[in-house]
Amino acid sequence: QVQLVESGGGLVQAGGSLRLSCAASGRTFSVNTMGWFRQAPGKEREFVAAISWNGGNSYYTDSMKGRFTISRDNAKNTVYLQMNSLKPEDTAVYYCAEGQIYYSRNYYYPKNYNYWGQGTQVTVSS
């Protein structure tokens, strides 16, 4: 059974940084797309970033380009999200997800991911 476990969330002041990690087990991690999504209270889950199976391509929501960086280490079955210049509006629960997604246009949609972590809270104070 696939398990995804996020870590690294917490409370940070605006302008600060956090690095989220997502450790995967129970499946061939290295051939699947990995994504990060977030969900704030009262809002729908939104796409943050995704990375192709070999790390060769990454995709971001426009508001996060230049601030967030997704990366993966297939030897460690782990995907990361480095978040810099954090803003109060980045406050949310952040989820990692794994899926067998063949076209990058499909990376943006939660329905295309098969497995999800439990989420980690990120709170940015002003």
Q: Which amino acid is at 4?
A: L
The model's confidence at residue 1, banded by pLDDT at 50, 70 and 90, is confident
61/30 Cα distance (integer angstroms): 23
DSSP assigned state of 105: G
Task: Give CA–CA dist 35/59, Å, rounded.
Answer: 9
pLDDT digits (tens, 9 = 90+) for 6-47: 999 999 999 999 999 999 987 666 778 999 999 999 999 999
Q: Are strands 92-99 and 33-39 parallel, antiparallel or unpaired?
A: antiparallel
- Averaged pLDDT for residues 113-126: 96
Note the pLDDT of residue 16: 98
Containing H/E element for 12? strand 10-13
Mean pLDDT of the region 47-69: 93
Asked if the model's pLDDT at residue 56 lies above 90, the reply is no
